[in-house]
Amino acid sequence: MSLVVGVGLRAGTPFAELQDLVTTALRELAGDVQLVVTITGKEHDPALQELVAQLGAELRTFSNEELAQQQVPTPSERVDQLKGTSSVAEAAVLATGAHLVIPKRRTPNTTIAIGVQRAAGYDLRDREVVQRVIAERRDVRRGFLDVPVDDVTLGRVLEAAHRAPSVGLSQPWDFLVIRDLATRRKVHDLATAQRDAFAASLPEDRRAAFDGLKIEAILDTPLNLAVTCDPGRGGRHVLGRHADPRTTTFSAAIAIQNLWLAARAEGIGVGWVSFFEPGEIAAILDLPAHIELVGYLCVGYVDEFAPAPELVRSGWAKRRPLSWAIHHEEWGRRDTSIVDDARQATQNAVPAGGQRVRVVVGGHVDLQEADVLAVDLGAERPPADFGVLWRPARTPVEAVEFGVEIARDLALQGVGQLVVQLAENSERAEALARGLQVGASACGLTHSSA
Ligand SMILES: Cc1cc2nc3c(=O)[nH]c(=O)nc-3n(C[C@H](O)[C@H](O)[C@H](O)COP(=O)(O)O)c2cc1C
């Protein structure tokens, strides 16, 4: 830990008095003093000079105007009258950007305060640029220009991807750059077939909305990038992967995000396509059997970046409020209770239009009909099926919350009407059904019981 000692002292302060105060305080902390700070004019004080020499530290001074700007915990009116700043020791520590760990301590002739130095963040303008590229990154599927991406620019984008964090620094990614039209046509055929299959699985009104969406730009962009993952990269003892093999895929996905952001900064649009069965796309790309595809990206210059996601602008889906996503210390403990929040929101809810979903809570369900969503409350994870939501609520209170969340989540996905069917006779099932009604009211969904 790198420490900063702030000192205020009267002329003629004996060194022993200052040394005693500082040494006693430093015994409470682990770390080295890198910096001693004080008010301009005190830099030649003999006691201070001796302290700096003894500690092997650097001495820095701040003017009384700079010190006066600091918000200190222990201001002094007397010091203010004498020096034009209500603090010297504490203010000098804070003026370095350090975090105060020992507030002001004093002897008759001297005051000290100690802080720990923090690594510097970026200045405001740079922070705004970082936030801007994150906010203005878009998944782009339309408006690609017939302009090639040169190798130097592509190199910068791939360099950003390659700088991504990875489990055990295993760097499990590879980037397959595909320009060949024949290959892209084959990939396009796969995406088209998957698009048709997805459309066929949708309820009628949702299918009509989906028909208006563009889900890929494989042939519209000058190049496609397949980002792959080698789950075995790094051998047997990759640090951090032993307990969770998914971490390799996470690493490759983060590389894609780096790529996406760097491309945005270059004015290059990226559209991620996942309408593939993994084995089929791997065969077309002739991937070795141990290599997995993580992301297939359509890349090229675009005429513009839309201000909001296409799925939001088309009304297909909505953004989830950040406050729903943040839990403090325990799952479910949000800044506001999701149930109270939903009850309040009910008063202002605007009636929603859109898809009808029949939510069946508990029991055995026939998933043949496309508008059915089954909620399984059992302790055992059911086999993977997007028609089944597994919500093993631990208490009735949690069941209500899960119900509210399900309804709100469905509303974000364009659902306008809920039919709630109770297929299990239990307190938790009833609570979850109640939550569904509360959540539905909050989002303006029409809801009924079957
Ligand atoms: C893993 C993943 C797969 C995606 N697959 C597709 C896809 O197949 N087709 C598509 O149009 N968009 C796809 N997207 C883009 C998302 O729809 C998009 O990120 C989301 O709507 C938010 O929009 P934004 O990226 O412009 O902020 C995918 C995104 C991710 C992260």
CA 139 to ligand 1 centroid distance, Å: 6
Amino acid at 142: R
Round to whole Å and give the CA distance between 339 and 441: 11
H helix or E strand, kind and range, residue 409: helix 396-412
Round to whole Å and give the CA distance between 295 and 272: 7
Round to whole Å and give the CA distance between 51 and 59: 10
CA 409 to ligand 1 centroid distance, Å: 17
CA 106 to ligand 1 centroid distance, Å: 60
Model confidence at 377: pLDDT above 90: yes
For ligand 1, atom 29, the nearest C-alpha belongs to: 272
Round to whole Å and give the CA distance between 390 and 379: 9
CA 449 to ligand 1 centroid distance, Å: 34
Domain ranges for the chain: 2-116, 124-313, 322-449
Ligand 1 atom nearest to 317, measured from its CA: 21
* 146-187 per-position pLDDT tens digit: 999 999 999 999 999 999 999 999 999 999 999 999 999 999
> What are the residues whose beta carbons fall under 8 Å from the beta carbon of 392, sequence distance 6 or more?
376, 377, 378, 379
So what's the pLDDT on residue 159?
A: 98
* 378-396 per-position pLDDT tens digit: 999 999 899 999 999 999 9
Q: Are 113 and 25 in contact (CB under 8 A)?
A: no
Among 224, 227, 261, 274, residue to substitute to test ligand 1 (most atoms within 8 Å of Cβ): 274
Round to whole Å and give the CA distance between 149 and 297: 14
CA 305 to ligand 1 centroid distance, Å: 14
CA 272 to ligand 1 centroid distance, Å: 6
For ligand 1, atom 10, the nearest C-alpha belongs to: 215
Which one, of 227, 221, 291, 212, lies nearest residue 258 by Cα? 227
Question: Domain spanning 124-313 has what CATH number?
Answer: 3.40.109.10
Which one, of 107, 100, 125, 98, lies nearest residue 8 by Cα? 107
ipTM of the complex: 0.99
Q: Across-strand partners of 302?
A: 144
Round to whole Å and give the CA distance between 381 and 374: 13
Question: At 353, is the pLDDT very low, low, confident or very high (cuts 50, 70, 90)?
Answer: confident
Question: Domain spanning 2-116 has what CATH number?
Answer: 3.30.420.180
Model confidence at 188: pLDDT above 90: yes
Q: Which residues of 234-248 are buried (b: 16+ CB within 10 A; e: fewer)?
A: beeebeebeeeeebb
So what's the pLDDT on residue 109?
A: 95
Model confidence at 24: pLDDT above 80: yes
The stretch 344-365 carries a mean pLDDT of 84
Neighbours of 98 (CB within 10 A): 23
The stretch 113-123 carries a mean pLDDT of 93
Among 272, 273, 305, 313, residue to substitute to test ligand 1 (most atoms within 8 Å of Cβ): 272
So what's the pLDDT on residue 183?
A: 98
- Helical spans, DSSP H, in 166-245: 181-201, 204-211
So what's the pLDDT on residue 29?
A: 93
For residue 224, what are its two tokens?
A: 């496609």
**Which 8-state DSSP code applies to residue 146?**
S
